[in-house]
Amino acid sequence: EGVANIRNEDRIPELPADLVVELAATFTAEGVRLVCPGPLPPPVAAFLRLVGHSEALAFGAAERQDPGLLAEAIRALPLPIPEAAAWKLAALAREREFP
């Protein structure tokens, strides 16, 4: 038993189909059996949509090596991160050349 990261498609209907989700899974010789959760409470679904959007921005920032887009990704997190801190984190990532 473990977890699998997989494109959502319709496994969690409250989340976008193209979002990568982490689901509980069982691995056997026959393959992978995913365990989909039941309906998400609306506040949980809203939180996960925001995190997913932030992760998509962060991926784009890494692809383009764009510190401005990385700062936007950090600001998109559903956390109280001050604007200056977001830019400082983006600058630190730039110094490390997006590992």
More confident of the two residues 12 and 97: 12
Q: Do 55 and 25 share a structural domain?
A: no
* Residue 83 and residue 60 share a domain: yes
Q: Specify the pLDDT at position 85.
A: 83
Domain enclosing residue 13, as ranges: 2-35
Same domain, 68 and 31: no
Q: Are residues 47 and 88 in the same domain?
A: yes
Residue 12: the pLDDT is 96
For residues 25 and 60, state if they share a domain. Answer: no
Same domain, 30 and 55: no
Instruction: Indicate whether 46 and 6 sit together in one domain.
Output: no
One-letter amino acid for residue 63 of the chain = E
Q: Around Cβ 77, how many Cβ atoms within 10 Å?
A: 16
Residues 90 and 71 sit within 8 Å (Cβ to Cβ):
yes
pTM of the model: 0.76
The tally of domains found in the chain comes to 2
pLDDT of residue 96: 65
Amino acid 36: pLDDT:
92
Residue-wise pLDDT for 40-97, tens only, equals: 999 999 999 999 999 999 999 999 989 889 889 998 999 888 878 878 877 877 776 5
Burial of 30 (0-12, 13-18, 19+ CB in 10 A): exposed
Q: What's residue 35's pLDDT? A: 93
